[in-house]
């Protein structure tokens, strides 16, 4: 039986971005993440997908400890990451790593690759032979050993991302958050990075939380997929079931817009769903179901009552009034 490595329970992260009213005392709050729950199982890739502003990156940054949650829990192998006032202990910092979207800005341009890879080794693995480990880390991401003498600005985008992945691997983690790891790269390089991540996952039994706006990418990469919209998860399912049998109108809308190459894939796609309107501002989230202003299937109840997650099939949950609300 596969065990859960990460459990996120009713996570909320609100930001106060200003004040309104005559006396400027009423806080203006952005509910970036508003009651998100999911689990990541040992050895799997859990895809968290959403448009810009959906809150998916805030989930990632809260998990890594860059933000403290406003409410809710995140636990790693059963240990609460935010118990009391402390953030993650050093042992958990070693276990959980992140690869950011833009390797150009996540690597210090004044340090060469050797220095970049040395830093996590010094903190988390003080007894190990650092030079040997740096060579091994570069080999793991398919870069030659002499790259340790180069600076980030001497590398291409894909090579920089390989160094960022090597840096994440330096602490020997079991869980890596991949925050849009390929979206800043040329299409020709994207497949190489994805194949590298899949190989490393097999080799080191890594668990991934894969954050992306690109739903089609998840078809071949994720074990399970969750869709986020305005700070909430609307649907979660095993990847095969998710693409074959989407329930939520928002998921159907996203899937119907994915370009496909074969007639068979075209037949499997949901019928084209035209949504109305733009994604609302996270400062002013609509009442009831937050998708109701864009939903072609909305009913009277949708603008008044926020639906809850219900299980429609084993392991497949949906938050929509169309399906058996309690
Ligand atoms: Fe559409 Fe209503 Fe379902 Fe929201 S709850 S997705 S508005 S049908």
Report helix, strand or coil for 135: helix
Residue 216's domain spans which residues?
Answer: 4-81+88-323
Distance (Å, whole) CA 237 – CA 301: 25
- Work out how many domains the chain is built from and give that number: 1
298 lines ligand 1 (CB under 6 A): yes
| Ligand 1 centroid from CA 237, angstroms | 18
Rounded-to-10 torsion of CA 99, 76, 201, 226:
-80
Q: What is the pLDDT of residues 135-154, one digit of tens each?
A: 999 999 999 999 999 999 99
Maximum Cα interatomic distance, the chain, rounded to a whole number of Å: 66
Pocket test for ligand 1, best of 229, 246, 292, 310 (most atoms within 8 A of CB): 292
CATH code: domain of residue 103 = 3.40.50.300
Residue 28 near residue 20 (C-beta atoms within 8 A):
yes
Q: How confident is the model at residue 274 (pLDDT cuts 50, 70, 90)?
A: low
Bigger pLDDT: 25 vs 146: 146
Q: What is the pLDDT of residues 288-300, one digit of tens each?
A: 999 999 999 999 9
DSSP string spanning 206-247? Answer: -EEEEEES-HHHHHHH-SEEEEEETTEEEEEEEHHHHHHS--
End-to-end CA distance of the chain: 30
Bigger pLDDT: 103 vs 118: 118
246 lines ligand 1 (CB under 6 A): no
**Whose C-alpha lies nearest to ligand 1, atom 8?**
298
The residue length of the chain stands at: 326
Supply the pLDDT for residue 182.
93
Sheet-wide strand order for 316-319: 96-99, 175-179, 207-212, 45-50, 224-229, 232-238, 316-319, 309-313
Q: What is the pLDDT of residues 69-98, one digit of tens each?
A: 999 999 999 988 887 666 666 667 889 999
Distance (Å, whole) CA 100 – CA 103: 6
| Ligand 1 centroid from CA 107, angstroms | 42
User: Tokens 């970049």 — which residue?
Assistant: 116
Q: How remote is the C-alpha of 309 from its chain's centroid?
A: 20
């Amino acid at each position: 039986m596969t065990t859960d490595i990460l459990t996120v329970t009713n996570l909320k992260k609100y930001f106060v971005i200003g004040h309104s009213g005559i006396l400027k005392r009423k806080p203006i709050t952005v509910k970036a993440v508003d009651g998100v729950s999911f689990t990541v199982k040992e050895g799997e890739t859990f895809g968290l997908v959403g448009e810009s502003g959906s809150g998916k990156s805030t989930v990632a940054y809260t998990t890594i400890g860059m933000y403290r949650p406003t409410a809710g829990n995140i636990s790693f192998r059963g240990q609460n990451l935010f118990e009391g006032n402390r953030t993650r202990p050093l042992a958990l910092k070693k276990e959980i790593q992140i690869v950011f979207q833009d390797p150009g800005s996540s690597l210090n341009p004044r340090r060469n690759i050797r220095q970049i890879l040395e830093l996590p080794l010094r903190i988390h693995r003080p007894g190990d032979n650092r030079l040997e480990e740096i060579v091994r880390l570069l080999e793991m991401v398919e870069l030659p050993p002499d790259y340790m003498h180069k600076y980030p600005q001497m590398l291409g985008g894909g090579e920089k991302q390989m160094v960022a992945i090597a840096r994440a691997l330096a602490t020997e983690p079991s869980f890596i958050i991949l925050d849009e790891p390929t979206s800043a790269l040329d299409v020709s390089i994207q497949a190489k990075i994805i194949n590298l991540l899949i190989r490393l996952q097999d080799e080191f039994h890594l668990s991934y939380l894969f954050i992306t706006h690109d739903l089609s990418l998840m078809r071949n990469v994720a074990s399970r997929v969750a869709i986020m919209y305005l700070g909430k998860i609307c649907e979660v399912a095993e990847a095969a079931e998710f693409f074959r049998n989407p329930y939520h109108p928002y998921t159907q809308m996203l899937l119907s817009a994915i370009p496909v190459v074969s007639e068979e894939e075209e037949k499997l796609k949901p019928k084209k769903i035209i949504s109305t309107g733009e994604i609302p501002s996270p400062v002013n989230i609509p009442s009831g179901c937050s998708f109701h202003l864009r939903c072609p299937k909305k009913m009277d109840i949708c603008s008044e009552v926020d639906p809850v997650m219900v299980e429609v099939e084993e392991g497949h949950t949906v938050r929509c009034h169309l399906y058996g609300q309690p």
